[in-house]
């Protein structure tokens, strides 16, 4: 039988350990998509992308620095990239085969394992905020198509017209993809995928979060859903690991890529770098796919492997310094 003093001491010791475990140095990592090809990037495009990544980091990190939640930092960083028009998400989304924009997004709170996702929405300016609303204001994890659009109206999101998502660059990409489709065997095509956005964050209380938002793949079939909004495939967070993926979504779904990275850490004791590298550089290519991830763990370690030429990415390190990179060197 323990004395009341002994019990009080134990309670205090546990509280102390929990308080220490919870304190963390905030970190934020964002991506603007893998599949970047060096010869396709003009200096203007590079400037546009770097500025958009820098703004997303700045806005998201301000939340973490003020003691805010990783879930808020992820929402704001991704919302900023959706609004920029610089990426394949929100305003800059690609066109499907029928010349429409169909957007997907997901967000997950690692501390509670709560998640929200939307797929196949056409009129929602910020799918990441709708995914967040599904997490917080519905009993569900995923809403798609018309149901998701109706839910968006019910939480006060005004519909955007099709022209909001129109950009000449994306339209020309579709025309090019349609031309290639006519010329080549459709089955042997490597669908162009780049520009999806994502964010992972660790807040001062040690809570992790992950989110991803995309227009999918240029010339995709009506109704196609990729990995980004699928919890465990393109987006996943738990108490020790958070991942946002970009790449050829069909392969990331088949590999349950994001969850596999966290599971390798949990069950095999892999480091974050080992787990992320194995999935991106081994599992996905062996299946025939490609792409990359941004990942972060509860210690604040980050990993950003990709097996395409480049991946738009940026991070704010433990010292509060922002970094942006596209290819291996910079």
Coil, helix or strand at residue 325: strand
Q: What is the spatial distance between Cα 218 and Cα 326, in angstroms, rounded to a whole number? A: 21
Q: Is 197 left (phi over 0), alpha (psi -120 to 50) or beta?
A: beta
Cβ-based nearer residue to ligand ASP, 123 or 228: 228
88 and 214 Cβ atoms separated by less than 8 Å: yes
Percentages (nearest 5) of helix, strand, coil residues in the chain: 45, 20, 35
Question: Is residue 123 annotated as part of the catalytic site, yes or no?
Answer: no
Minimum CB–partner distance for residue 159 and ligand ASP (Å): 22
Q: Give me the least distance between CB of 199 and ligand ASP, in Å please.
A: 14
Distance CA 72, CA 318 (A): 18
Which window, 20-28, 54-62, 210-218, 255-263, contacts ligand ASP (CB under 6 A)? 210-218
Query: Contact region for ligand ASP (CB under 6 A) — 41-49, 116-124, 129-137, 191-199?
Result: 191-199
Is residue 214 within 8 A of residue 92, CB to CB? The reply is no
Nearer to ligand ASP, 123 or 213 (CB): 213
Under the binding rule (CB under 6 A), the answer on residue 292 touching ligand ASP is: no
Nearer Cβ to ligand ASP, position 53 or 63?
53
Taking alpha carbons only, the member of 43, 42, 107 closest to residue 76 is 107
Q: Please pick, among 123, 196, 235, 308, the residue that the annotation labels catalytic.
A: 196
Residue closer to ligand ASP (CB basis): 75 or 228: 228
User: Of 215-234, which residues contact ligand ASP (CB under 6 A)?
Assistant: 216-217, 226-228, 234
| Sheet with strand 241-247: strands edge to edge | 235-237, 241-247, 291-297, 302-303
Q: Does 314 bind ligand ASP (CB under 6 A)?
A: no
- Minimum CB separation of residue 243 from ligand ASP in Å reads 13
Contact call for residues 89 and 95 (beta carbons, < 8 A): no
Residue from 132, 170, 193, 207 that binds ligand ASP (CB under 6 A)? 193
- State the alpha helices, DSSP H only, in 138-216: 145-154, 168-183
Asked whether position 196 contacts ligand ASP by CB under 6 A, the answer is yes
Q: Please identify, using beta-carbon distances, which residue of 68 and 92 lies nearer to ligand ASP.
A: 92
201 close to 73: Cβ distance less than 8 angstroms: yes
Site size toward ligand ASP, by CB under 6 A? 16
Order of strands across the sheet that contains 197-202: 142-144, 114-121, 103-109, 208-214, 197-202, 27-36, 310-316, 322-325
Residues within window 243-282 making contact with ligand ASP, judged by CB under 6 A? 246-247, 249
Nearer to ligand ASP, 75 or 246 (CB): 246
Stretch that binds ligand ASP, among 176-184, 192-200, 260-268, 273-281 (CB under 6 A): 192-200
Q: Using CB under 6 A, which residues numbered 89 to 108 contact ligand ASP?
A: none
Two tokens, residue 245:
């993926």
Q: Which residues bind ligand ASP (CB under 6 A)?
A: 33, 88, 193-196, 214, 216-217, 226-228, 234, 246-247, 249
Q: Which residues are catalytic?
A: 196
């Amino acid at each position: 039988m323990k004395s009341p003093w002994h019990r009080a001491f134990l309670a205090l010791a546990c509280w102390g350990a929990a308080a220490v475990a919870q304190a963390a140095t905030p970190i934020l990592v964002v991506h603007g998509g893998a599949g970047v090809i060096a010869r396709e990037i003009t200096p203007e495009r590079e400037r546009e992308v770097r500025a958009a990544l820098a703004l997303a980091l700045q806005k998201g990190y301000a939340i973490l620095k003020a003691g805010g939640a990783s879930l808020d930092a992820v929402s704001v960083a991704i919302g900023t990239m959706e609004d920029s028009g610089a990426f394949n998400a929100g305003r800059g989304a690609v066109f499907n085969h029928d010349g429409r924009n169909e957007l997907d997004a997901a967000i997950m709170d690692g501390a509670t394992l709560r998640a929200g996702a939307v797929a196949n929405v056409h009129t929602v300016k910020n799918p990441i905020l709708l995914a967040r609303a599904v997490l917080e204001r519905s009993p569900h994890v995923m809403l798609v198509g018309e149901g998701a659009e109706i839910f968006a109206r019910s939480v006060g999101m005004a519909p955007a017209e099709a022209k909001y998502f129109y950009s000449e660059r994306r339209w020309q990409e579709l025309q090019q993809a349609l031309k290639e489709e006519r010329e080549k065997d459709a089955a042997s095509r490597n669908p162009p995928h780049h520009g999806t956005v994502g964010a992972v964050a660790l807040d001062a209380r040690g809570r992790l979060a992950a989110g991803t938002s995309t227009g999918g793949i240029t010339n995709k079939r009506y109704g196609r859903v990729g990995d980004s909004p699928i919890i465990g495939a393109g987006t996943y967070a738990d108490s020790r690991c958070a991942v946002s993926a970009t790449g050829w979504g069909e392969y990331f779904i088949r590999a349950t890529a994001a969850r596999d990275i966290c599971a390798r850490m949990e069950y095999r004791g892999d480091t974050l770098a080992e787990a992320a590298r194995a999935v991106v550089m081994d599992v996905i290519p062996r299946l025939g796919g490609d792409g990359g991830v941004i990942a972060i763990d509860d210690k604040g370690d980050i990993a950003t492997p990709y097996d395409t030429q480049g991946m738009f990415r940026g991070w704010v390190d433990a010292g509060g310094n922002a970094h942006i990179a596209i290819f291996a060197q910079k």
